Structure 1
Amino acid sequence: MTHWNALVLGGGDPSDPFAAAHHVPVKPLIPIHGKAMGVYVLEALRDSGVIAHIAYIGPTPPEIQTLIHQTLPDQGSLIGNLEYGVQNMPAGNRVLVVTADIPMMTASELREVLASAPDSGLVYPIVRKEDCEKAYPGVKRTYARLKDGTFTGGNIFILKPEIVSTFLPRLKEMLAHRKNPLKLAGLIGMGTLIRLLTGQLSLERLEHKIGSILGVSVSAMPTGYASIGTDVDKDGDLELAQQLLSRS
């Protein structure tokens, strides 16, 4: 059985009003039925049976500390945390990066997603809009319309540690341009940007384009598990998580 290292992103903006409204320093510590949100994520990792090592970035009260192998200091950015995390975990396993705000993800769902992950340098699970709406009617998510369907991004991704030094500088550039259409067009090509904006870009072409920019093999992997693409970042999401987790 393949085993993985997990890098859990459990930090957050200290000025986050959602966390402040629930009297905690960061969002993953918001309680759901007496347990921090991040604990549900860590329990899913543990119970999946395929995670060899869990490193955690963010505050670690005792209930979190008992579920992890390693605490890493927050580097202040996603790119910094990825680079530092991968460099400071045990070598030899592929790395699962997961945010600590998807408490509805189950161990069996995670195990199946990891088992079906293609052998690409970077794998990004995505969820179809119809699967999200079927699982959680009325929940608002951000979607992208492609030729193959309408998708929301997952809150996990998988990478091979050896490709980090190759793709992180280029990923940083992409993230810096994501809100500037002209600069983004210069990076990905005007034709690709127009196809993306008009819903005419295929998943295969998008994978190829992003992979060529990052310099690694990239796979966007559709999954039917809406929990992967449903983070808790507002009170409506929290109410949903409270309802579903109380049933389980």
Structure 2
Amino acid sequence: MVSQSVKAVVLAGGVATWANMPKALLTLNGKPIVLRIVNALLSLQQVKQIAVVGPNAVLEVLPESLIKVEASSDLWANTKLGINALQPQPDDYLLLCAADMPFVTEQSLREFLDAAIASEADLVYLAVPMASFQRLFGSEKVRRTCARLKEGVLTGGNLLLLRARALSNIVTFADRAIQYRKSRWQLGKMAGWKILLKWVLSHLPLVGQLFLVSVDEIVKRGEELLGCKCKAIIADLPELAFDIDEPEDYEFAQRMAGEGKEEALTC
């Protein structure tokens, strides 16, 4: 195991509009879902501090040892609030993660952290093959946003590891991306026209496979934009790539809990 100090930010400000309550307070086996990620983080020796950013109703159910930060209505603002509450030093690792991962386990988090820290990158993102969901759920169909790349059909993980020393570049880029979010022209320039062209061509019948974008190409563009070393880890960790966006996702997690198909559903 890699031994490194990590500070974690759990983003718990999302709302389950269909239930009129914070997603972090949706329950599985009678316990708020936010406790799954919190308990998994508390079990990891590398994780030295945990800040949870959420509404007061969420903060009230958390252990007293955590840093509790009241959330705003803006995800990126909440991210910065959580990071600032941890007061990171330049060499610290920061783990940003969602609060609504019903299948998260200590083991899956450890596997990601060990691989991410060993890469020595300043920013590490998790990509999960869609095929790996079959290992966790068998024949059950799982809805995830995904992309067909040269390496296969991948979906993104719900966490990100970064070095505090790269924060300034990342914040500058994120602020610019948010500013341009309604301008396809500006966002296209940021993504890079070569990648966009290949993405368009990859949808052509018969020959589309020849133009699939690779993970390495995306990583290289990320390094150009951020000015730091980036890494995408492709790993069979579906536990870290499933969150609750829609009522169907919650119903799926409840069904898995009722069937006892995944040990992650027992706290």
When the two structures are superposed, what TM-score results if normalisation uses the length of structure 1? 0.88
Q: Distance in 1 between matches of 2:59 and 2:36?
A: 14
Q: Distance in 1 between matches of 2:13 and 2:97?
A: 12
Q: Deviations over 1:143-201 (max 9, x none)?
A: 11111211111100001112112111212333454565433222222221122342621
Change (3 A) 1:216 1:73: farther
* Structure 2 residue 165 is the aligned partner of structure 1 residue 162: yes
Q: Distance in 2 between matches of 1:120 and 1:224?
A: 20
* Structure 2 residue 79 is the aligned partner of structure 1 residue 78: no
Q: Which amino acid aligns with 1:8?
A: V
Paired residue for 1:10? 12
CA RMSD, Structure 1 to Structure 2 (Å): 2.2
Aligned residues: 242
- Helix, strand or coil at the partner of 2:86: coil
Unaligned runs of 5+ in 1: none
Q: Distance in 2 between matches of 1:144 and 1:7?
A: 27
- What is the aligned-residue identity percentage? 26
Summarize the alignment of residues 28-39 of structure 1 with structure 2, pairs less than 5 Å apart: 28-39=24-35
Match of 1:51 among 43, 47, 57: 47
- Helix, strand or coil at the partner of 1:82: helix
Unaligned runs of 5+ in 2: 203-210
Paired residue for 1:220? 232
More deviation in 172-181 or 54-63? 172-181
When the two structures are superposed, what TM-score results if normalisation uses the length of structure 2? 0.82
Paired residue for 1:129? 130
Moved over 4 A (4+): 60-63, 175-180
Query: Do the aligned partners of 1:56 and 1:68 also contact (CA within 8 Å) in 2?
Result: no
- Helix, strand or coil at the partner of 2:153: strand
Larger radius of gyration: 2
Query: Do the aligned partners of 2:53 and 2:71 also contact (CA within 8 Å) in 1?
Result: yes
Summarize the alignment of residues 124-203 of structure 1 with structure 2, pairs less than 5 Å apart: 124-136=125-137, 137-177=140-180, 180-197=183-200, 198=202, 200-203=212-215
- Helix, strand or coil at the partner of 1:205: helix
Q: Distance in 2 between matches of 1:224 and 1:67?
A: 33
Q: Deviations over 1:74-113 (max 9, x none)?
A: 2442332232322220434311111001021100110111
